[in-house]
Amino acid sequence: MIEAPGRVLPRIPVGAIACVLLTLGVQARPQDEQRPTSNTVRCLLTAENRTWKKGEPAGVTVKLENLTDGGLNLKIIPEFFLNGDEEYSAPTDVVHDKPIDVEKVPIKGGKVVGIRPVSLKVRLNARSTSIFEVDLAKTKWARTISSVWPSRPLSALPSGQYLLRLEFTDSHGRSVKSNGITVILQN
């Protein structure tokens, strides 16, 4: 404990703070409003069924378009967002239809271990389009403002109407945001 005039504060190990900050560094991204919009990649979301029921697939089609005359080698961390009464996010491997892989990062000589997402490598040929089918029922979710890495299934989120979007940063540090689509969770 640390004593301060009139109060006693708990002592928090520095390693624990570092672990939380590393996790927060993934969840608390820089303000996208300050990040310029990509002029090289466009992202479009569609969903045939927009009412998702517990225990059933929650399919989404992700269409990535290369707007340039040259090929693009992207390293991205795609993240889906559901915005309703609260906002939830799910870092997702859209190529393999699963939660994004994470790697362990030792902190303070290995006494504490943090995690960080592994970037996806996506190749888009000149003026091409790549289409990915993703079942969001297979992904892991958490509140957007959280110190916890997403671990909840879609079925654990509150029922209601949400605006779904996908975001990532292109290889030039520019923001790529999909269109938003309205979905209904019935859990």
**21 vs 149, which has greater pLDDT?**
149
**179 vs 110, which has greater pLDDT?**
179
Whether the pLDDT of residue 103 is over 50: the answer is: yes
Pairing of strands 51-53, 181-186: parallel
Q: What is the pTM of this model?
A: 0.82
CA 15 to chain centre: 25
Residue that the structure tokens 């993703």 belong to: 134
CA–CA separation, 88 vs 91, rounded Å? 10
CATH of 32-101+119-186, picked from 2.60.40.10, 3.40.50.12780, 1.10.579.10, 3.20.20.150, is 2.60.40.10
CA–CA separation, 128 vs 122, rounded Å? 12
**40 vs 9, which has greater pLDDT?**
40
Mean of the per-residue pLDDT values of the chain = 86
